[in-house]
Structure 1
Amino acid sequence: MEKHQYDVVVIGAGGAGLRAAIEARLAGKKTAIISKSLFGKAHTVMAEGGAAAAMGNVNSNDNWMVHFRDTMRGGKFLNNFRMAELHAKEAPERIWELETYGALFDRTKDGKISQRNFGGHEYPRLAHVGDRTGLELIRTLQQKIVSLQQEDKKEFGDYDARIRVFAETTVTELLLDDSDGTARVAGAFGYYRETGGFVLFEAPAIVLATGGVGKSYKVTSNSWEYTGDGHALALRTGATLINMEFLQFHPTGMVWPPSVKGILVTESVRGDGGILKNNDGKRFMFDYVPDVFRKQYAETPEEADRWYTDPDNNRRPPELLPRDEVARAINSEVKAGRGTKAGGVYLDIASRLPAASILKKLPSMYHQFKELADVDITKEPMEVGPTCHYVMGGVEVDPDTQATRVAGLYAAGEVSGGMHGSNRLGGNSLSDLLVFGKRAGEYAAAYTGDLSKRPAVKPADLEAAVDAALAPLQREGGENPYSLHHELQQVMGDLVGIIRRQGELQESLGRLAELRERVAKVGATGGRKYNPGWHLALDLRNMLLVSECTAKAALEREESRGGHTREDFPKMDPKWRQINLVCSVAASGDVDLVHQPVPTMRPELLALFEQSELSKYMTEEELA
């Protein structure tokens, strides 16, 4: 078995992982980056629209307080207020920092970073590079890492002296040392996907930056890596997950042809003026503006269209409501028989912008629809519908340090929970990666410096990790992992989808319990060299555990809020706003769920909101 020693190991090579690794390396720590896929292929590249940061480049009225307010509104006040505050305050600095790394953002006429409109944001706030912002972010952070490696080569004669990337490598277990009475991170065990060779990373600090859970659903914008690895690793190590019921179904994914169903259609289309129509040609979103948002959103098409040209008109188009509201509206139109034959609605940018502007602002979308659906978006509308996109819940972390309940374990990005409450605003994900990736790397590095001795991996734990990894290959007559994965996706899509009901959620838990027993006996044929069936067999354990947390929390929360919609409890309940649902794993392997109070927002932050607005979210006791 190959072994390596590092100070900080970052699991995940998306925006949060790369930013954490850069910070740990800048602190002088020997740092490893573990990428499940090829380096540079992280799912961050799919975040196309931009990174939200209140720089005020397009509208000088924007500031961190407005951004904080928008984030809390979008999350229906279930956000960890401290994370939302830190994010709003620090996002501009992280964007400007990217420029010093070499990022090339689109510019305004006077040379500032351009910012575009996006759903839920009061002002144009998203720094962007056409509709390929995530790709530019990943390229920029990668190049920064290469430059740090060049520094190491000059100083030590070794390109990988203090920061190294392990591509196409999967971590299956985190290992602990509890010899001093406190369970501490000691290392991570995994395998190289190409060869099947095992590898041990001995390290006192680990940062989880593994992204989301979308591959538990059939219709998803997520790529193949999103199997809930970090969530499950954290649970099995003794950390907790918070509010896993909140899954965001992005309102606009492709619906036709079936082979590409679920692929993301960026919110930039609506941010740049695109409108949603049903099969009657009606612009239907005006019928779905909730009372709580009535003051911020336009009531007529004329009023909505003025928002794009008049900086003093703050009545936003209803197509730019928070994503949960738009997804539910589209779902309602389709359910009422006003959808397309393929089960979606129409997204029209062709009648709104000249072809040249569409090609300039949305080059990736033009190419995507032309190549995959034979649709020219400069001439005809797109067909779109909701697709599983993002999990707001995740590993419970300290808002300032990103530390979990396990000493030495940190989490940042989509794998962590709390920042976005019950619903994430578009564009907040990329700036979230930067703000909290930086903090996770910073505090993980500081933690290692304070240790009196390095934790040690126990041989018995390492042997158990090896046995668990080899089990599917050694099991004769085990079930096919692809069949089990299909069944899991069917259960989650049909019973724990965009609209939820008590009976279906109860049924889902029964089906998941049955699948857990079958997954424990899953088999894989062939050897250890690049064997996708074996890889999926190992991923299934993670997907199943995290899916059980989602279903259990969805059944428990008897209200509708953000990404969680209960048909049998259709309204928000102020009492439930005070409750976080926290999942852990018992020694038996069962998921335990407890209620935990939501942190109380500081008075000066509460003062940013009108009392009439707060009364729609909070109880009378809270407002007293």
Structure 2
Amino acid sequence: MPELPGTRHPMTGNEMSPDAVGGMEHHDFDVLVIGAGGSGLRAAIAAQEAGARVAVVCKSLLGKAHTVMAEGGIAASLGNLWPEDNWQVHFRDTMRGGKMLNHWRMAQLHAQEVPERVLELEDWGALFDRTSEGLISQRDFGGHRYARLAHVGDRTGLEMIRTLQQRAVALGIEVFMECTVTELLLDRTGETPRISGAFGYWRETGRFMQLEAPSVILATGGIGRAFKVTTNSWEYTGDGHALALRAGASLVNMEFVQFHPTGMVWPPSVKGLLVTESVRGDGGVLRNSEGKRFMFDYITDYFKDETADSEDEADRWYDDKINNRRPPELLPRDEVARAINSEVKAGRGSEHGGVFLDIATRRTPEFIMRRLPSMYHQFKELADVDITKQSMEIGPTCHYVMGGIEVDPDTEMSKVAGLYSVGECSGGMHGSNRLGGNSLGDLLVFGKRAGDAAAAHADAMATDRPKVDPADVSSAKQVALAPFEPTGEHTENPYTIQADLQQVMNDLVGIIRTADELERSLVEIEKLKQRAQHLLVTGNRQYNPGWHLALDLRNMLLVSESVAKAALTRQESRGGHTRDDFPLPDDVWAQKNLIVGLDATGNGIELTEKPLPEMPDELKKLVE
């Protein structure tokens, strides 16, 4: 592939200078944030307010972050509806929801600090729904003892992004939109490698860019595009996970992938699109094809004491919430997803392979339109279903990965100096299963902490800034351009490989797993990795989505291998990881995490076991 792939702008037809086409931009900052979702923006704001020169790089447009899909609310023990609620109860719920595999310190910091972060968001202009007393309203969500989700209808994530984006713009933070980072750059001249910046390109023109910074914060989101049915948008290709691995960082808990129990099932064009948990929190119930409210058959011992075991008791909770034994539809997401999967497998599913979510028989049209406006319009416009009169057809969909980059709980720094991680690409906070509503709080709490720490690290490096190695930049260029000049006679289409990968992950590494299927998945992923070495991309670097996908595939294949290998190794069922051949939790596995790193070849992954961090006695008492 020649360095100058074209000389005319594809939209205007105007002549482009050689530098504009094939040259490389250079930028220098103190803190570079990769990703412009809730965690990335909150980190950028914190770093900028700490005095650092900050830039944000985002793969798509500012404001189009996947954070907007977190519709239900922000879990925070404000106590506006239940004065009994406090950070200790929220900590307990988070640890129990994660089946005790969470990093206790992250769960503690989150529960303690998220109320302040919510009030801060309100100070910046977020327009939360209100109680009759004028306080921030809070709603129920699965796994939370009390109604604690601060919300804006069913558009909370959108309001968060709007508020943070407005704050970032007001602070003058520089944003590079529609740019993709393909490699992190390291200074290896000292005893240990240090982050020195990142290499990427403009998606519109294909022009390369070198971004130098002593602190880099990864906020790239999840891995859902490796699966066939997912709520995730096209950006979620595991970029942060893979970038960190190639830079020498480690990942934790990669076997735990959350399948949200309620994604749209019909029509096929929107299969997997998220149906917010708010529908169940506001009174929606699940029924099978026989009309039975089946969740009462799936109450596990772990939650038996606090879950209603009859329709009468559950209905009383919806009406007055005095008995505080929650309906089984509000069990944690992993429990509900497995129950739906079991009903479908037993032949009691809907016509299109899901079950029915019914709120129309429990709530008035006015209530539904006020509390769930996005869900009403989503089903009306996309499926011609009026949820004020009809049931929704839903089923499990790949939604969130609990696994991510292993970080220090207080600073969010990885084991690579200067490299930080926040949000969904960070691991440890949620253990084996994330409670609904904990994601937005996670973004705010640890976004601020990462931004503060990254700014402090950059300041400490002021007199000894890490240097970029020109050889690394040259190598990154070569890797990026390789799809234009494939090796060998046989060539592959990136779209075909992605479709094959999604099918493998769907069929062999899905919601229910076995050793045989996981072993087969690893064989198939290895074949796909070999095929990916012969990718062919035609055209030039301008407006070339095939090229973009070819580069994303490197990351998707790496994180898919990480998930499959960790899932094969963990011989138990826990949280988002269910093994048919090991259907019960195992006390031995409850004491350790699986850590993923690159192997000696740099092309595959290896696993190590690591004991859980020891929890202080005063916190043990809260969860016992």
Aligned pairs (5 A) from 1:37-186:
37-149=60-172, 163-186=173-196
Q: Using the alignment, how far apart are the partners of 1:183 and 1:308 within structure 2?
A: 55
- The one-letter code sitting in structure 2 at the alignment partner of 1:187 is G
Q: Using the alignment, how far apart are the partners of 2:421 and 2:322 within structure 1?
A: 40
CA-to-aligned-CA distance 1:111-169 (integer Å, 9 cap, x gap):
000000000001001000000000000000000012112xxxxxxxxxxxxx2000000
- Within the alignment, does 1:296 sit opposite 2:290 as a pair? no
CA contact (8 A) 2:486 2:533 kept: no
How many percent identity over aligned positions?
Answer: 67
Q: Secondary structure at the match of 1:307?
A: helix
Q: Secondary structure at the match of 2:141?
A: coil
Structure 1 counterpart of 2:12:
none
**1:60, distance to aligned residue in structure 2 (A):** 0.6
Structure 1 counterpart of 2:609:
595
Structure 2 counterpart of 1:503:
516
Structure 1 counterpart of 2:45:
22
CA contact (8 A) 1:472 1:478 kept: no
Structure 2 counterpart of 1:207:
217
- Within the alignment, does 1:11 sit opposite 2:34 as a pair? yes
**1:292, distance to aligned residue in structure 2 (A):** 1.3
Structure 2 counterpart of 1:371:
381
- Within the alignment, does 1:258 sit opposite 2:268 as a pair? yes
- The one-letter code sitting in structure 2 at the alignment partner of 1:167 is M
Structure 2 counterpart of 1:422:
432
Q: Secondary structure at the match of 2:622?
A: coil
Aligned pairs (5 A) from 1:289-438:
289-438=299-448
CA contact (8 A) 2:265 2:271 kept: yes
Q: Using the alignment, how far apart are the partners of 2:600 and 2:451 within structure 1?
A: 30
CA-to-aligned-CA distance 1:33-70 (integer Å, 9 cap, x gap):
00100110000001000010000011111000000000
Q: Using the alignment, how far apart are the partners of 2:151 and 2:256 within structure 1?
A: 27
Structure 1 segments unaligned to the other structure (5+ residues): 150-162, 611-624
Q: Using the alignment, how far apart are the partners of 2:308 and 2:87 within structure 1?
A: 24
Structure 2 segments unaligned to the other structure (5+ residues): 1-23
Q: Using the alignment, how far apart are the partners of 1:324 and 1:369 within structure 2?
A: 24
**1:310, distance to aligned residue in structure 2 (A):** 3.0
Residue from 39, 55, 62 that aligns with 1:32 = 55
- The one-letter code sitting in structure 1 at the alignment partner of 2:435 is L
Structure 2 counterpart of 1:458:
469
CA contact (8 A) 1:59 1:311 kept: no
CA-to-aligned-CA distance 1:68-97 (integer Å, 9 cap, x gap):
000011000000000000000000000000
Q: Secondary structure at the match of 1:584?
A: strand
Q: Secondary structure at the match of 2:41?
A: helix
- Within the alignment, does 1:584 sit opposite 2:597 as a pair? yes
**1:474, distance to aligned residue in structure 2 (A):** 2.2
Residue from 535, 538, 551 that aligns with 1:538 = 551
Q: Using the alignment, how far apart are the partners of 1:169 and 1:576 within structure 2?
A: 41
Structure 1 counterpart of 2:13:
none
Q: Using the alignment, how far apart are the partners of 2:532 and 2:485 within structure 1?
A: 14
Q: Secondary structure at the match of 1:199?
A: strand
Q: Using the alignment, how far apart are the partners of 2:577 and 2:136 within structure 1?
A: 35
**1:311, distance to aligned residue in structure 2 (A):** 4.3
Aligned pairs (5 A) from 1:567-582:
567-582=580-595
Q: Secondary structure at the match of 1:59?
A: coil
**1:478, distance to aligned residue in structure 2 (A):** 2.6
Q: Using the alignment, how far apart are the partners of 2:482 and 2:491 within structure 1?
A: 10
Q: Using the alignment, how far apart are the partners of 2:518 and 2:342 within structure 1?
A: 20
CA contact (8 A) 1:211 1:413 kept: yes
Q: Using the alignment, how far apart are the partners of 1:521 and 1:450 within structure 2?
A: 44
Structure 1 counterpart of 2:252:
242
- The one-letter code sitting in structure 2 at the alignment partner of 1:433 is L
Two-structure CA RMSD over aligned residues (Å) = 0.8
**1:178, distance to aligned residue in structure 2 (A):** 1.3
**1:586, distance to aligned residue in structure 2 (A):** 2.1
Q: Using the alignment, how far apart are the partners of 1:91 and 1:220 within structure 2?
A: 28
- Choose 304-313 or 351-360, whichever is displaced more: 304-313
CA contact (8 A) 1:248 1:423 kept: yes
Q: Using the alignment, how far apart are the partners of 2:94 and 2:534 within structure 1?
A: 44
Q: Using the alignment, how far apart are the partners of 1:308 and 1:113 within structure 2?
A: 20
Q: Using the alignment, how far apart are the partners of 2:322 and 2:378 within structure 1?
A: 35
Q: Which consecutive aligned stretches of 4+ in structure 1 deviate over 2 angstroms post-superposition?
A: 308-312, 474-478
TM-score (norm 1): 0.95
- The one-letter code sitting in structure 1 at the alignment partner of 2:257 is L
Q: Secondary structure at the match of 1:227?
A: coil
